[in-house]
């Protein structure tokens, strides 16, 4: 049997550990793109590769107590900005949802408590839960900062699973102070569905003979692997529940190899192994900000993003060979540019490359820009590309300088060295 553990309202639950007075109250965690990263005097930027998931950035600013209230989401004019990353069940009773604007949430629930995110605390608690689960289950996979899978096969007999997960849930609350919900089934995909049915702070086991009745009325959008485009395609042929999908095998399997695999997952006919480690395939950084036209300032921001991403790439000790930069304009216009380059990675070259990609991608020069994104992928350790030997000696000298800079940043902080163009 596979087990799926999900922390209930994780960010809110973490805030309640720190401040128990928030218990049983409508609470939400706000989120806003960290545009302070572009301030010339900005400090205390942190990089973490440990966890991932929605609203879990690789780069984030260390939490400060002064940020821990609604004032953190007000701009210079006093306007409340930002969205909600999660909310408590008490808040959800007022119709408050994830990704809702803070302003709209306060209109629905004026006494809603808004807390700013504390990524350092979330990472710490997630790590503690991971370590605890590893002491209880032989094979554990961390799927995101608040989500874990485990394999109970050969460890816990099927007739003992109920007692095991009930005790596990209670012990996690007692030791780590986090409420979790747990689902168990023969496959990880159905176990995840079972967890959703168990929330909040519950347990649910789906035995093989119960599978069909369990999935019959579940909306297709709740199944992991059915994204927006697949959902629209299924709905176009009047498939709205997993039960209807199960009864439409011929139609679904005829679309593509992926839809054929998806059908098997929904019906519990196939599974993926639990993986205790994952290889990172890409890394990126992006920021959304108020509409900005000044191209000189935008180029400066590209330098800032490139410096942060370079630091992370060097910390991962990989050499990316595919580089992608995208621009989001006002009025829902988008543009992007990418390039493949198999050469030694140095910060100076990367900075110049990002600026070049920005200038090439900026196809709507009369429009304001609201978002910049840079992504690097196809690391040489995975793609097996051979590095170019052209200018190898010069590149090696620049690589040594990059290494020296990295060592000093590791010791004194990411902002100890900046490009002159950032200032």
Query: Residue 334 has what pLDDT?
Result: 94
- Tens digit of pLDDT for each residue in 260-298? 999 999 999 999 999 887 777 888 998 888 899 999 999
Alpha-carbon distance of 363 to 336, in angstroms, equals 9
Higher local confidence (pLDDT), 127 or 53: 127
- Tens digit of pLDDT for each residue in 208-221? 999 999 999 999 99
Phi, psi of 212 (to 5 degrees): -60, -45
| pLDDT surpassing 60 at residue 186 | yes
Pick the CATH number of 211-278 from 1.10.150.20, 3.40.50.2300, 3.30.930.10, 3.40.50.170: 1.10.150.20
Query: Residue 44 has what pLDDT?
Result: 61
Alpha-carbon distance of 204 to 195, in angstroms, equals 6
Residue 296 CA: distances (Å) to CA of 18, 299, 334: 43, 5, 19
How is domain 10-118 classified at the architecture level of CATH?
A: 3-Layer(aba) Sandwich (3.40)
Residue 171 CA: distances (Å) to CA of 35, 129, 136, 166, 322: 40, 11, 11, 9, 45
Query: Residue 277 has what pLDDT?
Result: 77
Residue 357 host element (H or E)? helix 347-361
| pLDDT surpassing 60 at residue 299 | yes
Query: Residue 63 has what pLDDT?
Result: 57
User: What average pLDDT score do residues 363-379 get?
Assistant: 94
93-102: long-range contacts, CB 8 A cutoff, minimum separation 24 = 93/26, 94/26, 96/26, 96/28, 98/54, 102/28, 102/30, 102/70, 102/73
Alpha-carbon distance of 422 to 188, in angstroms, equals 47
User: What average pLDDT score do residues 222-243 get?
Assistant: 94
| pLDDT surpassing 80 at residue 172 | yes
Query: Residue 120 has what pLDDT?
Result: 85
Domain 282-422: homologous superfamily in CATH: DNA polymerase, Y-family, little finger domain (3.30.1490.100)
- The pair of structure tokens assigned to 191 is 């176990």
Query: Residue 338 has what pLDDT?
Result: 95
Alpha-carbon distance of 30 to 27, in angstroms, equals 10
Q: Is the dihedral of CA 179, 150, 57, 265 positive or negative?
A: negative
- Residue in the block written with tokens 């994780």: 10
Higher local confidence (pLDDT), 385 or 22: 22
Q: Is the pTM of this model over 0.85?
A: no
DSSP letter for 317, please.
T
Alpha-carbon distance of 360 to 335, in angstroms, equals 10
Query: Residue 18 has what pLDDT?
Result: 93
Are 87 and 27 in contact by the 8 Å Cβ rule? The answer is yes
| pLDDT surpassing 90 at residue 245 | yes
Domain ranges of the chain: 10-118, 211-278, 282-422
Do 211-278 and 282-422 agree at the fold level?
Answer: no
Query: Residue 9 has what pLDDT?
Result: 94
CA neighbor of 129 nearest in space, from 72, 178, 200: 178
Query: Residue 276 has what pLDDT?
Result: 82
Query: Residue 78 has what pLDDT?
Result: 78
Query: Residue 408 has what pLDDT?
Result: 73
- Tens digit of pLDDT for each residue in 30-81? 876 666 777 766 556 666 656 555 555 565 666 555 556 777 787 777 788 8
Query: Residue 335 has what pLDDT?
Result: 96
| pLDDT surpassing 80 at residue 401 | no
| pLDDT surpassing 90 at residue 336 | yes
CA neighbor of 267 nearest in space, from 186, 362, 159: 186
Phi, psi of 377 (to 5 degrees): -150, -170
């Amino acid at each position: 049997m596979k087990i799926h553990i999900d922390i209930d309202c994780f960010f809110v639950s973490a805030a309640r550990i720190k401040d128990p007075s928030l218990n049983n109250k409508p609470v939400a965690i706000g989120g806003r793109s960290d545009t302070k990263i572009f301030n010339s005097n900005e400090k205390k930027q942190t990089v973490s590769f440990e966890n991932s998931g929605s609203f879990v950035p690789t780069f984030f600013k260390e939490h400060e107590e002064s940020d821990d209230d609604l004032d953190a989401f007000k701009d210079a004019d006093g306007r409340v900005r930002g969205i909600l990353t999660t909310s408590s069940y008490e808040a959800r009773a007022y119709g408050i949802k994830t990704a809702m604007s803070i302003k709209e949430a306060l209109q629905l629930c004026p006494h809603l408590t808004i807390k700013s995110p504390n990524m350092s605390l979330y990472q710490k608690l997630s790590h503690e839960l991971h370590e605890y689960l590893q002491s209880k289950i032989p094979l554990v996979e961390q799927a995101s900062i608040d989500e874990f899978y485990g394999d109970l096969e050969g460890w816990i007999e099927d007739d003992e699973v109920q007692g095991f997960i009930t005790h596990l849930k209670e012990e996690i609350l007692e030791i780590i102070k986090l409420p979790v919900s747990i689902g168990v089934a023969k496959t990880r995909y159905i176990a995840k569905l079972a967890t959703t049915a168990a929330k909040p702070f519950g347990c649910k086991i789906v035995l093989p003979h119960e599978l069909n009745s369990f999935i019959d009325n579940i909306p297709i959008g709740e199944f992991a692997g059915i994204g927006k485009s697949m959902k629209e395609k299924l709905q176009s042929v009047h498939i709205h529940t997993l039960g209807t999908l199960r009864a439409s095998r011929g139609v679904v399997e005829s679309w593509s190899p992926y839809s054929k695999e998806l059908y098997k997952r929904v019906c519990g006919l196939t599974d993926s192994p639990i993986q205790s480690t994952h290889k990172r395939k890409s890394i990126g950084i992006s920021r959304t900000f108020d509409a900005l036209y000044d191209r000189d300032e935008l180029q400066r921001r590209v330098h800032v993003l490139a410096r942060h991403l370079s630091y992370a790439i060097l910390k991962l000790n990989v050499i990316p060979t595919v580089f992608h930069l995208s621009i989001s304009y006002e009025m829902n216009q988008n543009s992007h540019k990418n390039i493949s380059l198999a050469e030694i990675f140095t910060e100076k070259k990367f900075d110049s490359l990002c600026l070049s990609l920005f200038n090439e991608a900026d196809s709507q020069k009369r429009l304001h820009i609201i978002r910049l994104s840079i992504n690097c992928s196809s690391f040489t350790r995975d793609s097996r590309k051979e590095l170019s030997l052209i200018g190898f000696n010069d590149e090696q000298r620049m690589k040594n300088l990059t290494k020296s800079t990295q060592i000093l940043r590791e010791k004194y902080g990411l902002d100890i060295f900046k490009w002159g163009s950032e200032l």
